[in-house]
Amino acid sequence: MTLSEEQRSKLDRAQEILGYAFQDEGVLLSAITHPSATEGKSVKFSYERLEFLGDSILGAIVASTAFHRFHELDEGGLTRIKVALVSGASLADVAAGLGFADVIVFGSSETGTGKRGLHSALENVYEAVVAALFLDGGLPAAVGFVERTLVPRMSLDMASEPENPKSALQEKLQEDGITPTYKLVETQGPPHDRTFVAQVYAGDQGLARGVGRTKKEAESQAAKTTLARLSEFFGLGGGEEKAAEKAAKAEEKAAEKAAAKAAKAEERARKKSEREAAKKKQD
């Protein structure tokens, strides 16, 4: 593998930050390479594919840690901790603190832009590095990195923090046995300056769409829109007005049932009285 002076320098610095020497430096190089530096080349040479794998591995590590650490929390609390910890803001902050901004390989098209996509790039590189460690050193390497850099931020307070749209939607729909899923339906713009369109699904039923600068942001927007339109999709939600209307209908229905029950009782009593009167007349 022939490397430029920049690539060699950034690879060495990345391994120094990670405290890990890669057997396959190519996988680490991909993990720290922005798509703007690979235009015209295969997608495997940037972090795009690796971040997909890293997202799943990272989610599993965080979920397992929270599950074993907080024994009294229900699914909702554990979900809020996981979502808060692996959010884009959280990962970007950790990556910046580690010095990842200095090891990302950007293309010439990003020169002079102030690297406007740095926040999302930091998030994506963190996930890609998790995947690279997993591929090169197995699960222990990935777990060790996440436990050292991200898990220390985990706290019980996260379980009660305001939910982001995705976790809020998941909790709401799971009350009815529905688990929402997300699908990237469109990608717009060049590789280094993309806009993503995601759609949320309930089974095969497509719900709302969302647009964002990252896939996670697009999914979050899709969830937010779905939450606002739950009554349209499932007859759920609707706020205080809906709740009052529902209560009024329930009260009306209960009154109707009570009236019908009273009418039946009155009819039975009348018939019984008529039978007794007829019997006395016969006697």
User: Do 149 and 192 lie in a common domain?
Assistant: no
Mean pLDDT computed over every residue of the chain: 83
User: Do 171 and 157 lie in a common domain?
Assistant: no
* Token pair 């320098």 in the structure block, residue: 9
Residue 28 token pair = 């680490």
Closest CA to 126 of 153, 149, 159, 157: 149
Q: Helix, strand, or coil here: 112? A: coil
| Residues facing 182 on adjacent strands | 200
Cα 54 from chain centre: 14
User: Do 33 and 115 lie in a common domain?
Assistant: yes
Regions of the chain short of the pLDDT cut 70: 1, 109-117, 161-163, 191-193, 235-263, 281-283
| Residues facing 58 on adjacent strands | none
Burial 55-68 (b: 16+ CB within 10 A, else e): bebbbebbbebbee
- Residue 273 has a pLDDT of 74
What CATH number corresponds to the domain at position 9? 1.10.1520.10
Three-state secondary structure string covering 93-104: HHHHHHCHHHCC
Q: At what angle do helices 118-149 and 5-18 cross, to 10 degrees?
A: 40
Residue 37 · residue 29 · CB < 8 Å: no
Is 168 domain-assigned?
yes
- The range of the structural domain enclosing residue 230 comes to 163-237
User: Do 73 and 203 lie in a common domain?
Assistant: no
- Residue 15 has a pLDDT of 96
- Residue 13 has a pLDDT of 95
Residue 235 token pair = 């007859």
Is 137 domain-assigned?
yes
Residue 99 token pair = 């010095």
Residues 6+ apart with CB under 8 A from 201: 180, 181, 182, 183, 207
Residues with a known catalytic role: 55, 127
* pLDDT tens figures, 119-173: 888 999 999 999 999 999 999 999 999 999 999 999 998 888 666 788 888 888 8
Is 257 domain-assigned?
no
What CATH number corresponds to the domain at position 167? 3.30.160.20
What amino acid occupies position 70?
Answer: F
Residues 6+ apart with CB under 8 A from 137: 20
**Local structure of residue 105 (DSSP, 8 states):** B
Q: Which of 132, 161, 190 is the last residue of a domain?
A: 161
User: Do 79 and 63 lie in a common domain?
Assistant: yes
Q: At what angle do helices 75-85 and 165-174 cross, to 10 degrees?
A: 160
Helix (H), strand (E) at residue 200? strand 195-202
* Token pair 């963190």 in the structure block, residue: 126
Is 270 domain-assigned?
no
